[in-house]
Chains A and B, each alone.
Chain A
């Protein structure tokens, strides 16, 4: 692999730039899809109230299938991007899915900008934390943050207000 580029005193490789660009692009496309596309709107309708959405002619089962397919495809893309940077193993998804859930709760469930923000927040908090204490406590830090958020602000930083009522 080539030597990386120097950027504000840090080294960043071509592959890392690629990962950043592709993940940013995918997030924007997903956000637009959920906000603007018919199918995205249908998904939000099913998540809000599946019975009411079936009244207006949406098949909740079909929408759930499609959203599972899209979600799995995105997870697959994430896996490919990770495999460019680190080595892979069959159980690597477990940690990612946990951190993903934590990040989406911190950011606010049902909000794509929130999910991105939560992801950055969690990653930075974890790695700043192990700067001072041992690396073994990384998971511990993540879950302490999660529990604090669940108890103090269950809707997340950018979460929709109704989430609080549901809890």
Chain B
């Protein structure tokens, strides 16, 4: 039961990440590969504030998300000049840079040793330590993220984002400041990624740079593409399947010597099959150009 709830909490955190990346990748059509870097910034900011200054995790969560949003401006900047593969590569590069800062700035982040003993959330004297309480908290944040992202994409703002995705020059001709919208969308995405990172840090109570590698960004992008780009429900489906499915493969009853590699192989094969049969993702309407 404990295990099941743990998986659900992790799924919830990934749903937040997937929803926010979907805003950047699915709706605005900017291939960004640095999403784990934002959650890294959020996680480290709120944990360091809590550990060094005894700040409440709630405040840390907010500050962490805001700092991630600020970094979003920096990472969003190349998107004004670069397109397609080059933008993917530049954001990938930012992901690597943030990762190596977290790993090498030992005096601040303790580097590969990580930060142990991060305090958990608490309301008054009541500590959110039971796993089901945490699940409720994460579910609340997932719901909030869903509401905000839904509000964003179903507004005139969201229509401009779709316009940037479909035809940037046409949107520009309509008199929309495309650059401003691109930066804003990066900031919103980064803000929610920061929240997800902070939630993760205060849940696991230990973070180290290896949780925020660029592979993690690729996994999140995979969830977006798998569930469907430009689809809110798709983000839920994509994140849930890609987290829960590998766990289900655990119960196939294979001998342990071949179970782990076989799991990876089945997982990879399914991804290839899905991309061949349904390149727009399970619930997506928009296809990668």
A103 to B283, CA, bound (A): 38
Bound Cα distance A64, B97 (Å): 34
User: Nearest chain A CB to B103's CB is how many angstroms away?
Assistant: 6
For A101, what are the chain B residues with a Cβ–Cβ distance below 8 Å? 89
Q: Please determine whether A147 and B81 come into contact, CB atoms closer than 8 angstroms.
A: no
Contacts of A146 on B, CB cut-off 8 Å?
89-90, 93
Interchain CB contact (< 8 A) of B81 among A134, A139, A151: A151
**Chain A residue total in the interface (Cβ 8 A):** 15
In the complex, what distance in Å separates the CA atom of A154 from the CA atom of B96?
A: 20
Q: Is the CB of B78 within 8 A of A143?
A: no
Give the CA-CA distance A167 to B90 in the complex, in Å: 13
Q: What total of chain B residues lie within 8 Å of the partner, measured CB to CB? A: 16
Q: Is B271's beta carbon under 8 Å from chain A?
A: no
Contact with B along A124-143 (1 / 0, CB 8 A): 00000000001011011001
- Determine whether the beta carbon of B82 is less than 8 Å from that of A167: yes
Instruction: List chain A residues, Cβ under 8 A from B86.
Output: 105, 150, 154, 167
Cβ-based interface call for A11 (8 A): no
Report the minimum CB–CB distance from B163 to chain A (whole Å): 21
**Considering the chains assembled together, what is the distance between the CA atoms of A114 and B7 in angstroms?**
48
B136 located at the interface, meaning its Cβ lies under 8 Å from any Cβ of chain A in the complex: no
Q: Are A167 and B83 in contact (CB under 8 A)?
A: yes
Q: Indicate if A8 sits at the interface (CB-CB under 8 A).
A: no
B172 to chain A, nearest CB (A): 16
- Identify which of B89, B97, B101, B103 contacts A105 (C-beta below 8 A): B89
Q: CB-defined interface of A80-107 with B at 8 Å, one 1/0 digit per residue?
A: 0000000000000000000001000100
Q: 1/0 contact trace for B87-103 toward A, CB 8 Å?
A: 00110111011001101
Q: Is A144 engaged at the interface, CB distance under 8 Å to the other chain?
A: yes
Residues of A within 8 A of B81 (CB): 150-151, 154, 167
- Report the Cα distance A167→B83, complex, angstroms: 6
In the complex, whether B133 has a CB less than 8 A from a CB of chain A is no
A134-B96 Cα distance, complex, nearest whole Å = 16
Contact of A143 among B83, B97, B103, B104 (CB under 8 A): B97
Interface string of B64-90 (1 = CB under 8 A from A): 000000000000001001110010011
Contact B104 A150 (CB under 8 A): no
The 7 closest A-B CB pairs, nearest first, are: A143-B93, A136-B104, A140-B100, A143-B96, A146-B93, A150-B90, A147-B93
Question: Footprint of B on A, CB under 8 Å?
Answer: 101, 105, 134, 136-137, 139-140, 143-144, 146-147, 150-151, 154, 167
20 additional contacts (CB under 8 A) given A136-B104, A144-B97 = A101-B89, A105-B86, A136-B100, A136-B103, A139-B96, A140-B96, A140-B104, A143-B92, A146-B89, A146-B93, A147-B93, A147-B94, A150-B78, A150-B81, A150-B86, A150-B89, A151-B78, A151-B82, A154-B81, A167-B83
10 contacts between A and B (CB under 8 A): A105-B86, A137-B100, A140-B101, A146-B89, A150-B78, A150-B81, A151-B90, A154-B86, A167-B82, A167-B83
